[in-house]
Homo-oligomer: A and B are copies of this chain.
């Protein structure tokens, strides 16, 4: 029998770094995590990463082969192998993480941002199996997106394609973290719906338990719970969020005409509260020929380790492309 083949999937977040060894069917054989300590320079981070990987590797059964490494990280560039000035990692400028990993482990290594990795996780192990054209949207602190066309993630000329969080909803709208106004993620994300609750609390006189919660204490979970109890402000916040998301999805469908749009992340946990208005407004806004052609789906990795599966999906996908070439 041939040796067991695994890939190493690594997800680097501002708070934690998670990694795991994943086989071709998406089984995670071993998984670990440690604090990223985002304020450290990359030269302090890397030894911690290497130690953690080496320790986990030593515990794998004998004879396994690690075929490659996939990484998901903020502001990562697939073409250059770099992580470039992410606001939530104080690594110091542009870091060629692929080069550093390859120097140490001497196996194929690829990197992309977390949303693109999540899309590849979904393609190999989740809701998008057998799809050629779909869009994955992550609804967390911000809004990330990974766009798959003809069976591959769209990186574009720059390597940074698929930044739907910065589509403009309203040129005079809410200030976004990037300094511009009216970006989609200022409305549609956990942070966005929280801002929407504040706006609704300002505009209306309707009673709401959310009037007793400060903006910084407000979570997607709290808004969801209130909405499930019939709280009008919370329900209206989901309606507003779904309205804006649905309209922007309808615009995006004109560009790539996906078979499905898959929602993932904190806000997707609200299920029908967010899916129903999003689908309704998307269908209302869609240009005729596209009406009824797009499925809106829940991620199938939502309650598994999506980040590790995404990073692993990235490298499995890459190895397959290399074999095909």
Q: Using a CB–CB distance below 8 Å, which chain A residues touch chain B?
A: 75, 84, 131-133, 147, 149-150, 152, 154-164, 166-168, 171, 178-180, 247, 250-252, 254-259, 285, 287-290, 293-294
Given the contacts A150-B152, A156-B149, A288-B178, A167 and B293 also touching, CB distance less than 8 Å: no
- Assembly CA distance A285 to B182 (angstroms): 11
- Assembly CA distance A274 to B164 (angstroms): 27
B178 near A287 with CB under 8 A, answer: yes
- Assembly CA distance A258 to B288 (angstroms): 26
Given the contacts A178-B287, A287-B178, A157 and B171 also touching, CB distance less than 8 Å: no
Given the contacts A152-B150, A158-B290, A255 and B164 also touching, CB distance less than 8 Å: yes
A257 near B155 with CB under 8 A, answer: yes
Chain B neighbourhood of A259, CB < 8 A: 157
Given the contacts A133-B157, A155-B257, A166 and B293 also touching, CB distance less than 8 Å: no
- Assembly CA distance A53 to B302 (angstroms): 57
- Assembly CA distance A137 to B180 (angstroms): 26
- Assembly CA distance A296 to B221 (angstroms): 45
B157 near A257 with CB under 8 A, answer: yes
Smallest CB-CB separation from A157: which chain B residue? B259
Q: Is the interface of A mostly helix, strand, loop or mixed?
A: loop
Q: Which of B156, B167, B294 sits near A251, CB closer than 8 Å?
A: B167
- Assembly CA distance A293 to B77 (angstroms): 14
Tell which of A147, A149, A164, A290 has the most Cβ of chain B within 10 Å.
A149
Chain A to chain B contacts (Cβ below 8 Å), 10 pairs: A131-B157, A133-B156, A154-B255, A157-B258, A157-B259, A158-B257, A162-B255, A163-B290, A166-B287, A179-B288
- Assembly CA distance A290 to B287 (angstroms): 28
- Assembly CA distance A159 to B257 (angstroms): 8
A160 near B257 with CB under 8 A, answer: yes
B287 near A254 with CB under 8 A, answer: no
Tell which of A147, A150, A179 has the most Cβ of chain B within 10 Å.
A150
Smallest CB-CB separation from A166: which chain B residue? B287
Q: Which of B131, B157, B254, B294 sits near A166, CB closer than 8 Å?
A: B254
Smallest CB-CB separation from A132: which chain B residue? B157
A164 near B254 with CB under 8 A, answer: yes
B254 near A157 with CB under 8 A, answer: no
- Assembly CA distance A210 to B290 (angstroms): 39
Q: Given known contacts A154-B256, A157-B257, what 11 new A-B pairs fall within 8 Å (CB)?
A: A84-B289, A133-B161, A157-B258, A157-B259, A157-B294, A162-B257, A163-B254, A167-B254, A168-B250, A168-B251, A255-B255
Chain B neighbourhood of A155, CB < 8 A: 257
- Assembly CA distance A290 to B178 (angstroms): 13
Chain B neighbourhood of A164, CB < 8 A: 254-255
List 4 A-B pairs, minimum CB-CB distance, nearest first.
Answer: A156-B257, A161-B257, A157-B259, A166-B287
